[in-house]
Structure 1
């Protein structure tokens, strides 16, 4: 761990890549998950006031709740659209250029938000949320691709955790800026929601000075000289980059006989069935484990746990700080612990926390100090989430699949992520209304099943390349032989000795 951190700090340009791409990448995704909690009251008042002025109709509570849920979930619709187009845009325009232009969406969304209150327009807020979603959908995919492709194999696991780290930092920043002492007031909430425009401008002004992905330059553009130049800038002038370039060159030669597979072919392929199931289970559980429900509606969750109203905002800040610190710790231990262990421990720990939390919520009216037990359990739950699924899940599509299946795997993973987020945003308020605290049992089920799946169906991936991971899956589930055409896909890569050589 210390050696990897030292190597990273010896490459200041690579550190800049991690920070600049992160702050304008997955930071935006996390920020918009938590930022609506604080100004929700003021936006609902704006919606009701607008309906009275336009139509002379004051909204019923259920009508207002439905409009609000759709406003929240519009972000997920935009995210799905962005994720579906991100792979093609990154392949055509390059990783860096795609991220640069993506910031224009965040800036346009911020302008709409800043004008929405003056214009008394809910439609402008929804349009801004849609643009923010497209921006985050593109950033989630391209940020992950770009930062991992700029990183040498020895640092890839640690740097991969920063993708989730910036999500957590974005959530925490949304909570801090949303308190009433900062921007969480009736006068300043447009500036709070428009903060993403500033972040987008910051990346727009700095990212052009960083190099393009060396892997993209060589494998997609065929420009070896540009790839070597980018590697030297990233790793430092005194570092020998010949071995990295030769590995990519061998991979390029092998990939000339292998075509990229479509999503349909990925879904029907028997050779990667268990890798696909792993992606489906982990990305579905990432949304249906309950973590985003806590951030989207954290005030309601903690009020149900019995926390006094005047302490709610500080408890919410504590949850964000807990996730940030635990995610950082996960990045420090991931090389020595392994991703399989972190996933199993995280899922089963979350399941146990949610089960006991349901019991404490049931007893909170009978025992005076029980609400504080509920609060502690929520923090324990966030600890287990951040120490496993949060940091491990996002890079999985690029680490479990060979090059020919990788693009399709990212499409499947990102689609599941955004559909799950939309489902949580629309359905969770209804679930809470009808099930009360028993809603946590639904999340308990998903966490328990996912922990069992990883335990019995996913091999350890630490210090293994993509091809070694594929072989481990086949050895664990060796019930059918791969089809001839699927063998053909794997054989050329085996001659490179590294393939995609992502060591977990």
Structure 2
């Protein structure tokens, strides 16, 4: 029998592996697509000309590129839908092993897309890359928030790495772009191999029989959940959407999840080069400004982690006031080329605020707000809302830039400020609390009344 201390550290390392692997892959895929944009678009145009004996028109070209950028989100939505059933049925570990196999297959498809002369393979590879399952409940209660923030650090690190290896001196060339798009296969392989040496998560192993569970770190919390939900079966998505007893949890879940996408941060990364181009930045400087964006987020997210370690009561404030400041800052962004340096300063301010505030924290809400009976379906709801909003931003933002020009960021301002108001007044602090305590903490409307 393992000692309690050894069990604790195995669980900690498992949380860390999952946070690093999935977050690093996601971070790379968000940022890496911007670097080879010219080469991929050239490849699409060339294949279209050979296939249809006519050059692709501008509208079709923009539509194909927007779909290449945003199809990652559709894959993630499919993963979110399955995340409610696969981990429950087969266990979190097996589901994540399967998930990494999908990522490895995606990398191979992207790698051989140019050899096969098929831009559809790029679309398929991006879709499969997005098929990710997130496991937030494997961390011990006193580590859950810091594990989530560790994930946000490695998302930032992945973004920086994607931007660095995408410069023209490394892999951002005509010859290397398929390898650049396939680079996320490497952390997927590492995570797959590492997971083989770790146990299943406690919440899957526990079926009401604590004697057979060697990982007992979370049994006290789980026992409280079992007592408070005695006789309850696993809830469906319909239950989550229709039950009045979790109405406030649902609102507290959906509004921040939408806010993460409609705050405009993904638009900055997906279309960084287009934004820089509209602001009058020379082509040879765009890669380095892009790296600066990623590095800024990584530094600020790391500082946020350190701050939360010393102050356990700031998670809600970081989200709420972060969105508020982002909304105020974006009001002043103007893409007119005669004030590019002012725009750069404001864009970097938005990145700083995002890194110090909402980054990563919002995505922990399902694991923090819902008891085990509701949790799988809550992940389906949050994942669907999250990734469908990201898909819409990826598909539509290039058209918004062309249509609204310097006012393109104003569409994010209203929702960002409304999200801030809701978070500040209605979301409870979750740091260091068990799920049972959070659920009982003024989230039910009847209790609030």
1:39-438 matched pairs, under 5 angstroms: 39-134=36-131, 136=132, 138=133, 141-142=134-135, 144-145=136-137, 149=138, 151-219=139-207, 222=209, 224-225=211-212, 227-228=213-214, 230=215, 244-249=218-223, 251-252=225-226, 255-335=229-309, 336=311, 337-358=313-334, 361=335, 365=338, 370-438=339-407
Name the count of aligned residue pairs. 443
Distance 1:62 1:449 in 2: 34
Deviation at 1:42, TM superposition (A): 0.9
Q: In structure 2, what is the Cα distance between the partners aligned to 1:376 and 1:16?
A: 38
- Shift in Å, 1:441: 0.8
TM-score for the superposition, normalised by structure 1: 0.82
Does the 8 A contact of 1:219 with 1:248 survive in 2?
no
**Is this contact kept in 2: 1:215–1:248, CA < 8 A?**
yes
Matches within 5 A, 1:465-480: 465-474=434-443, 478=447
Report the equivalent of 1:237: none
Quote how far apart the aligned CAs of 1:31 are.
Answer: 1.6
What's the offset of the Cα at 1:466?
Answer: 3.0
Check whether the contact 1:39–1:185 (CA below 8 A) recurs between aligned residues: yes
Equivalent position SS for 2:79: helix
Query: How far is the alpha carbon of 1:12 from its aligned partner?
Result: 5.4
Give the distance between the partners of 1:9 and 1:167, measured in 2 at CA. 28
SS in 1 for 2:332: helix
Q: Report the 3-state secondary structure (helix = DSSP H, G, I; strand = E; otherwise coil) of the residue aligned with 1:293.
A: helix
Q: Which deviates the most, 410-419 or 460-469?
A: 460-469
Contact 1:298–1:316 under 8 Å retained in 2: yes
Relative to structure 1, the CA distance from residue 261 to residue 351 in structure 2 (aligned partners, 3 Å threshold; closer, same or farther) is same
Verify the 8 A CA contact 2:107 2:183 in the aligned structure 1.
Answer: yes
Whole-angstrom distance in 1 between the partners of 2:38 and 2:179: 16
Q: Distance in 1 between matches of 2:430 and 2:95?
A: 31
1:249 to partner: Cα distance: 4.3
Shift of 1:161: 1.2
In structure 1, how many angstroms separate the alpha carbons of the residues matched to 2:398 and 2:202? 45
For residues 330 and 106 of structure 1, do their structure 2 counterparts lie closer, same or farther at Cα, with a shift above 3 Å needed? same
* Distance verdict in 2 for CA 1:290–1:250, change over 3 Å: closer
Give CA deviations for 1:313-365 in whole Å, capped at 9, x if unaligned: 1111011111112112222222514211111221111011111224xx45x53
**Which segments of 5 or more consecutive residues in structure 2 lack a partner in the other structure?**
none
* Deviation of the 1:477 alpha carbon: 6.9
**Partner Cα separation in structure 1 for residue 431 and residue 333 of structure 2:** 33
TM-aligned CA distance change 1:10 to 1:181, over 3 Å: farther
Structure 1 runs of 4+ aligned residues shifted over 6 Å read 8-11
Whole-Å Cα distance in 2 between the matches of residues 75 and 246 of structure 1? 39
- Residue 75 (structure 1) shift: 1.7
Matched, 1:440 2:409: yes
CA distance in 2, matches of 1:13, 1:271: 36
d(CA) in 2 for partners of 1:30, 1:422: 16
Kindly indicate which of the two structures has a greater share of residues assigned to helix: 1
Aligned-CA RMSD value:
2.4
Q: TM-score normalised to the size of structure 2?
A: 0.92
C-alpha spacing 1:452/1:194, structure 2 compared with 1 (3 Å): same
Larger mean CA deviation between 411-420 and 116-125 belongs to: 116-125
CA distance in 2, matches of 1:153, 1:79: 26
Residue 27 of structure 1 corresponds to which residue in structure 2?
24
Partner of residue 238, structure 1: none
Verify the 8 A CA contact 1:219 1:252 in the aligned structure 2.
no
When Rg is computed on C-alpha atoms for both structures, the one with the higher figure is 1
Separation (CA, whole Å) in 1 of partners of 2:8 and 2:370: 28
- How far residue 458 of structure 1 moved from its aligned partner, in angstroms, is 2.4
* CA distance in structure 2 between the partners assigned to 1:469 and 1:212 by the alignment: 25
Is the 2:83–2:376 contact (alpha carbons within 8 Å) kept by the matching residues of 1?
Answer: no
Instruction: Rate the CA distance shift 1:317–1:224 in 2: closer, same or farther, 3 A.
Output: farther
Counterpart Cα distance in 2 of 1:31 and 1:217? 32
The answer on whether the counterparts of 1:177 and 1:192 sit within 8 Å (CA) in structure 2 is yes
Query: For residues 475-504 of structure 1, what are the alpha-carbon distances to aligned partners after superposition, in whole Å with 9 as ceiling and x for unaligned?
Result: 877566xxxxxxxxxxxxxxxxxxxxxxxx
